[in-house]
Structure 1
Amino acid sequence: MDDFTIYNDPILVRKRKGISGDPYKNVTETLWVDKGVAYLRETPSRTERVRVTGTSYPLYEINDGELTKDTYKVDYVHGEVYFHESLNKKSLTFSYLGTGVLYFPDSRIYLTGDKNYGSAKIKFQDIDRSVLEQKNRVDNLIRSTPQPSELVDVRTDRNGKVYSVAKDRIDADQKKIEDVQIDLNGKEYTSPKARVDADQKMVEDAFMSSSRTEILKSLDARIIYDYNELNQNINTKVDNLQNTLVPQIDNLKNIINTEINRIESRIKKEINVIDFGAKGDGVNDDTEALRAALAEAKKRGGGTVIVPYGKYLLRGSLTIYRNTRLLSDEGVVFFRANDYSGYMLKNGDSGDQYTEYNGNGNIIVSGGMWDGRGNLFENGGTLITFGHSENVIFENLILKDVVNNHGIEINSSKNVIVDNCKFLGFRNTGQRDYAEAIQIDRASEAGFPAFGSYDLTPCRNVTIQNCFFGKSGTSGMTGWGRGVGSHGTITASAKHSNINVKNNRFEDTIQWAIYPLHWDDSQITNNKIINCGGGVRANVSSASMFRITIDSNIFLNTGEAGLSNISVVGSADYEMRTVSISNNIIYGVSDKSVSGIYAAYCNGCKIQGNDIRNCGTHGIMVRRGRYYDVSNNSVISCEDTGIYFWTDILYSNISNNSIGYIGLNGIHVTSNVDTLSISGNTISGVNKVKYDGGMGNHIRITDNVDRVSIMGNVCRNIAHDYIATNGLYISSTCTNVNRTGNIFRGIGINDNSGSLVTGDSV
């Protein structure tokens, strides 16, 4: 085949990298389901999943098992979504994060097993030619074959006359019938029989003799014969018309009845709480009415429970069951009516003993304000709690004014989405300043007393997005203790995984905005954290934690509680493994904070591309661990040390960072650090004048640091406020130091290590 043509028929790649410079694209499109499948325009992101809407009931994604009318499967390789046959010919809306698409030309598909064709394109052309030849042969056969006799008979009358269509023949017969009703004088009768009766009477009046009687008998016989024959023809044609029309009418009736049944079924699925006695007046207790409506949905096997506009007082807990959507109109408020300590909404009854994710799932809670009235009551209690569930969506909710507890607890559940919700107002009456607005927990009796079983099932595949966490403005209420997080002991076999916190805004938390405790394979991205006691802290208790990403977040004026803006901390026994802290903006770090970024006991930690400014303490602090890569960060206007490595660190790298206007040291490495590269950093201005001639250096290395390469760093003083004691200071306890190509011109060096020097500019 023509190789030149092939090379000019390129593979078109429209793939995105999914990073800040080339992010995935939010795609929303409406597609028809054809033969149980819909084809997405782009390849969807597996981590973000595909959400499908457009039916009167919620649809849930499954990974395996048989498809039902409310489930679907997604092929994340080819961008295909599969449905139950009941959804064929339905128009559905698909929302997902598009990674792009790959177009592969047919000329690039080679056929190794068919030597008659060079490529799939040529073979397709040959198939098209064969199909066209076959079609022409069939058309010729049809044209050369006479029509069946029954089709001709319908158009042929008793005299052998052939009409062009059957309708023309019926019209001609009808005209004959009408002509019979008109006599020779032009008088028209109501029917052929009426005319015959009139003719017979005329004959009888004209002839009175026996011969006349014979004539009349002959005429009468002739007329009766013609009438009977005509009547038989009419009846035959009526029967033929009935045989044609009746099936069509019956089919139309079936279509109408099917549509009526569908509409009635949909109406029956919607359950209005008003029909069960709810008042929504803010005065009467509506607990039992709402319980009855939710129980009716359970009885039907699921449905949509509608809550119209109003204020609904609750003196006890509500339970929602599987396959149910609780849909509240805009402006609906659920009030805690008295000082009971129970939940406002849960997905199981006391005494239930579910295991793993086999409890009440396939649930959507949409709309409404859930007001705990924490300014009035002391016991409070978590507002909404779900356990042992699968496929749950909380959307467009307001969770308000909670005492000591949580807005939503997600326990022992998977495939959960919290979207576009507001968490407003918290009050701590004791030692509960760590209470989260959204708590992610495992099934233990101490942590989840709502119902069992207590099999320590963790949470998986939880996404919290587009939410707001802050104050309510109610007197006596503050911001939350923490925004999103977990607390309590976790075992290695019961760790949470794939927890995604993205595109949220956190304000005024007492402690951390986000507190991941044993969240393996999790991402914290594109959040704004403002005026919080601390930012993000990922840590362990009794097992190592693997693969967490903290990327592209913004931190403003955070750390007043003495906590870091970003902190990842393992322990001597359990490490933080494979950590990425990248592309974050940290501005205005409190002088009470430990540092802008803090990492300890990590095994494989990248701190890259972060921008730290106006920091009242250290910029980046690293302690204990191995394989740290601190590179391409910008640390500007920092009151203490820019990058601080200290105590028991192995096999690490500090490179290509921009460090300036620093109060003490630009880079300080100390206390048993082994095998370290310090290269390509630009340090401009250290040892701020407030230290009164302190020991601030551009690079300071002290106390048993071994095997260090210091290469290609550029250092300088700035004006009279930032004058280093030394461009480089190395104590005598440091060994195996290699210096190459650094610029310390005009600053001075105090190197007591006997290091190997090549090409430094001093």
Structure 2
Amino acid sequence: MYNVMDYGAKGDGITNDASAIQTAIDQCSKNGGGRVLLPGGHIFNSGSILLKSEVDFHLERGAVLKASDDLADYYPLANEGKIVAHQSGLPSFLNSEYAGRPFHAFITGFHQKNVSVTGFGTIDANEKIFYGTNSGYHIEGTYYPRIPLMLLEDFLHVTIKDVTMINCAFWTVHLVGCNDVLIEGLRILNNLQMANSDGIDPDHCKNVRINNCHIECGDDAIVLKNSGDYRKYGACENITITNCTLISTSAAIKFGTEGEDDFRNILVSNCAISKSNRGISIQIRDNGNVENVVFSNITIETRRFSHEWWGRAEPICLTAIDRKPGVKAGKIKNITFQNISCKGENGIFLSGSSDNYIEEIQFQNVKVVLLKNSKWEIDGYDIRPCQGDGNMKGKISGIYCNYCKDVDFQGLRIEKKESIMDYYKEDVTLLEVTNVNVF
């Protein structure tokens, strides 16, 4: 046991305890491993922390690890000799492109093994220091990319269990090129207005289990990625997501939009999605493919949050669209939806491209209930990011399919509630099928 108080940490919420915490981690790893303890009843103010092999970083119940107010306390992120430069970009709701590598991180590490972050304590990422403009529904950050709460690259055997993470202004748990990951009982509670505050982002990861988590965040709750700067780690594959409760002002579960490699062999089950701007979204804009994915036993409730957030309250949205000229989108193939109950302001939306059909999609025992439950207009569909503004204006449908091949409906039910009819009147349809082969 390596108690950070024995290494000089004050735990008074004022002193920067980073040096004491890091010394405890270094000693623990050097001596062959053990537990680094942040005892309860204290607030540990800290800048960047490096996790190392064979360390269980444990926050006792009542302990708070809080990110420093001073940006100078986050040293530049180095990877194989490369210092990452600051990138300032377009507002997050436009078609800004991100290669996946920030220039700072709060809790980080590279090429380690047998690492865990555990305990019933809290990690506070201190979002307020990153506030930019605020529309009342969407807070833009002061710069982009901002500081993730956790960025672990090339870790083998990672466990994150029972911790509560709050107030992150960017991706909360960003795992890059990691293998054998268990995330269980994690609570992520971010500001629903904060742009880019994703929950869990496995990026080029393999053999990942995400279980029994509760996530509330302004942006995607659980999102699989294959971002450009980490291509060397290959596909995102062999992943299970189960028994999670999710709330998001973007998509609760998403693949993409960063997709430079393949997503395959993924199971999502027994999840409850509520109050989300979009439920399940597979957004392929780069050359990675998606195949062999099953979504089962999921309830989805959607409502539109505001015009800045991507999405029009679609419970399920699959799109394969070229990001820009010269960047060819990959294929979406062999996706199954079983025992899905959808309720909200829009229907299921599937759209490939004239030269890139979405293929082999199965809907088994799927129910869609359309009802109006927000003040925002639902005037069609949203295909951002893409060339142009991405707004497909027009009537909505319970199911919309365009440029799809081999779509199978078994036990599909669509209901239109009076509230939706009052809002759309004759413009609501049950099934809109174009350029589709249904079997």
**TM-score exceeds 0.5:** yes
Match of 1:337 among 48, 68, 84: 68
Distance 2:46 2:71 in 1: 7
Partner of 1:581: 337
Q: How far did 1:296 drift? A: 0.5
Q: How far did 1:332 drift? A: 0.6
Matches within 5 A, 1:402-421: 402-403=168-169, 405-421=170-186
Distance 1:411 1:635 in 2: 40
- 2:278–2:312 CA contact under 8 A, matched in 1: yes
Distance 1:358 1:400, change over 3 A: closer
Distance 2:192 2:409 in 1: 39
Q: How far did 1:358 drift? A: 8.6
Q: How far did 1:597 drift? A: 4.8
What RMSD in Å do the two structures reach over aligned CA positions?
2.8
Distance 2:302 2:192 in 1: 22
Matches within 5 A, 1:539-688: 539-540=283-284, 541-560=286-305, 561-571=311-321, 574-587=330-343, 589-590=344-345, 593=346, 595-598=347-350, 600=352, 601-615=357-371, 617-637=396-416, 639=421, 640-646=428-434, 648-650=435-437, 652-653=438-439
- 1:499–1:519 CA contact under 8 A, matched in 2: no
Q: Which amino acid aligns with 2:150?
A: I
- 1:612–1:619 CA contact under 8 A, matched in 2: yes
Distance 2:72 2:191 in 1: 15
Match of 2:250 among 502, 511, 525: 511
Partner of 1:459: 205
Q: How far did 1:420 drift? A: 0.7
Distance 1:383 1:288, change over 3 A: same
What CA deviation, in whole Å up to 9, does each residue of 1:211-246 have, x standing for no partner? xxxxxxxxxxxxxxxxxxxxxxxxxxxxxxxxxxxx
Distance 1:342 1:275, change over 3 A: closer
Q: Which amino acid aligns with 2:368?
A: I
- 1:498–1:521 CA contact under 8 A, matched in 2: yes
- 1:559–1:565 CA contact under 8 A, matched in 2: no
- 2:302–2:313 CA contact under 8 A, matched in 1: no
Distance 1:300 1:610 in 2: 54
Distance 1:302 1:492, change over 3 A: closer
**Mapped pair 1:373 → 2:123:** no
- 1:467–1:503 CA contact under 8 A, matched in 2: yes
Helix, strand or coil at the partner of 1:334 = strand
Q: Which amino acid aligns with 2:430?
A: G
Distance 1:612 1:492, change over 3 A: farther
Q: Which amino acid aligns with 1:317?
A: S
- 1:272–1:306 CA contact under 8 A, matched in 2: yes
What CA deviation, in whole Å up to 9, does each residue of 1:540-575 have, x standing for no partner? 221321111111110124455414111122348632
Q: How far did 1:342 drift? A: 7.0
Q: Which amino acid aligns with 2:27?
A: E
Matches within 5 A, 1:291-440: 291-340=22-71, 350-352=78-80, 359-367=111-119, 368-378=121-131, 381-403=147-169, 405-426=170-191, 433-440=195-202
Q: How far did 1:311 drift? A: 2.6
Q: How far did 1:469 drift? A: 1.5
- Percent identity, aligned pairs only, is 17
Distance 1:571 1:375, change over 3 A: closer
Matches within 5 A, 1:199-214: none
Q: Which of structures 1 and 2 has the bigger CA Rg?
A: 1
Helix, strand or coil at the partner of 1:326 = strand
- 1:399–1:423 CA contact under 8 A, matched in 2: yes
Distance 1:468 1:427 in 2: 14
Distance 1:554 1:469, change over 3 A: same
Distance 1:434 1:376 in 2: 15
Q: How far did 1:435 drift? A: 4.3
Distance 2:178 2:242 in 1: 19
Distance 1:273 1:314 in 2: 12
What CA deviation, in whole Å up to 9, does each residue of 1:449-497 have, x standing for no partner? xxxxxxxxx2111122211112xxxxxxxx4211111456567983211
Distance 1:428 1:381, change over 3 A: farther
Matches within 5 A, 1:203-282: 270-282=1-13
Partner of 1:527: 271
Higher fraction of helix: 1
Q: How far did 1:314 drift? A: 3.1
Higher fraction of strand: 2
Matches within 5 A, 1:32-181: none
- 1:395–1:418 CA contact under 8 A, matched in 2: yes
Helix, strand or coil at the partner of 2:167 = strand
Size of the alignment, in residue pairs?
344
- 1:338–1:377 CA contact under 8 A, matched in 2: no
Any stretches of 5+ residues in structure 2 without a counterpart? 83-108, 132-141, 257-261, 306-310, 323-328, 373-395, 422-427
- 2:295–2:338 CA contact under 8 A, matched in 1: yes
Helix, strand or coil at the partner of 2:78 = coil
Q: How far did 1:281 drift? A: 2.4
Distance 2:155 2:208 in 1: 12
Distance 1:309 1:283 in 2: 16
Q: Which amino acid aligns with 2:319?
A: V
Q: How far did 1:285 drift? A: 2.2
- 1:304–1:327 CA contact under 8 A, matched in 2: yes
Q: Which amino acid aligns with 1:552?
A: N
- 1:396–1:419 CA contact under 8 A, matched in 2: yes
Q: How far did 1:293 drift? A: 0.5
Greater relative contact order (Cα 8 A, min sep 6): structure 1 or 2?
2
Distance 1:532 1:281, change over 3 A: same
Partner of 2:391: none
- 1:369–1:399 CA contact under 8 A, matched in 2: yes
Match of 2:222 among 469, 484, 508: 484
Q: Which amino acid aligns with 1:555?
A: I
Partner of 2:214: 468
What CA deviation, in whole Å up to 9, does each residue of 1:89-114 have, x standing for no partner? xxxxxxxxxxxxxxxxxxxxxxxxxx
Q: Which amino acid aligns with 1:598?
A: L
- 2:198–2:220 CA contact under 8 A, matched in 1: yes
Distance 1:438 1:459 in 2: 12
- 1:311–1:335 CA contact under 8 A, matched in 2: no
Helix, strand or coil at the partner of 1:579 = strand
Helix, strand or coil at the partner of 2:53 = coil
Distance 2:321 2:232 in 1: 14
The TM-score, its normalising length taken from structure 2, stands at 0.72
Distance 1:276 1:552 in 2: 48
Q: Which amino acid aligns with 1:497?
A: E
Q: Which amino acid aligns with 2:279?
A: G
Match of 2:280 among 521, 527, 536: 536
